[in-house]
Structure 1
Amino acid sequence: MPRWFLPFLLSCLAAHGDLKVAALHPLLAELAQQVGGDQVEVIDLMGPNGDPHHFEPTPRQLRETGRFDLMLACGLGLESGLSDIRDLLPAGSEMVEVGEALPTLAGTCDDPSHHHDHDGRDPHWWHSVETYRRAVSVVESAFSRLDPDQADAYATRADSYRQQLDRLDRWVRRQVARVPRDRRVLATSHAAFGYFCHEFGFRAVAVQGLTREQMPDAASLARVFTELRDQHVTVIFPEKGANPAILRALVKDGHLRLGPQLDADGTRSASYEAMIRGNVTAIRDALAR
Structure 2
Amino acid sequence: MRRLWLTTLLLLCSPVWSQTVVASVEPLAKVLRSLYGDSVTVTTLLQANQNPHQLAFSPRQVLAVQQADLMVWLGAGVEAPLAPLVARRQGPSVALLTLEGVYRRDGGHDHQHDHDAHASHGATTDPHLWLSVDNMVLLAGAVGQRFPAGLRPGQPQQWQQAAENQLQAERERLAPLARVPWLSYHQPWGYLSESLGLAEPLVVSEQLDAGPGSRRFVTLAGQVRDQQVRCAVQEPEARVGLLKRLCPDCYVQPLDPLGRDSSQQEYLPWLAELSAGFAQCLRAADQD
Same fold (TM over 0.5): yes
Write the deviation string for residues 95-125 of structure 1: whole angstroms up to 9, x where unpaired.
43224422111112379xx833251111112
TM superposition outliers: structure 1 runs of 4+ over 6 Å: 5-11
Which letter maps to 1:187? L
Q: Write the distance in 2 (CA, Å) between the matches of 1:135 and 1:66.
A: 21
Cα deviation, 1:31-60, whole Å, max 9, x if unaligned, reads 223223234332222233545444442234
1:236 aligns with 2:232: yes
Question: CA, structure 1 residues 162+6, in 2 after alignment: closer, same or farther (shift >3 Å)?
Answer: farther
Mapped partners of 1:142, 1:47: distance in 2? 25
In the alignment, which of 248, 252, 262 is matched to residue 255 of structure 2?
A: 262
Match 1:222 to one of 205, 218, 228:
218
- Stretches of structure 2 that go unaligned for 5 or more consecutive residues are 1-6
Distance 2:34 2:14 in 1: 19
Match of 1:126 among 127, 130, 136: 130
Report what 2:160 is aligned to: 162
Question: Does 260-269 or 213-222 show the bigger shift?
Answer: 213-222
Partner Cα distance (1:175, 1:275) in 2: 16
Structure 1 spans left out of the alignment, 5+ residues: 145-149
Match of 1:13 in 2: 15
- TM-score, with normalisation over the residues of structure 2? 0.77
Q: Give the total of aligned pairs.
A: 268
Measured against aligned partners, the alpha-carbon deviations of 1:49-89 in whole angstroms (never above 9, x if no partner) come to 545444442234323676223322123744351234335x4
Q: CA RMSD in A?
A: 3.3
User: What is the aligned partner in structure 2 of residue 278 from structure 1?
Assistant: 273
Write the deviation string for residues 211-232 of structure 1: whole angstroms up to 9, x where unpaired.
5324322223233333333433
Compared CA separation, residues 182 and 123, structure 1 to 2 (3 A): same
1:142 to 142, 146, 159: 146
Give the residue type in structure 2 aligned to 1:136.
A
Correspondence for 2:205 among 183, 205, 208: 208
Matched to 1:159, the amino acid is Q
In the alignment, what sits opposite 1:182? 179
- CA gap of 1:260–1:121, structure 2 versus 1, over 3 A, is same
Percent identity of equivalent pairs? 22
Q: Describe the shift of the 1:215–1:11 C-alpha distance in structure 2 as closer, same or farther (beyond 3 A).
A: farther
Deviation at 1:206, TM superposition (A): 1.8
> Quick check: 1:248 aligned with 2:244?
yes
Question: TM-score, with normalisation over the residues of structure 1?
Answer: 0.77
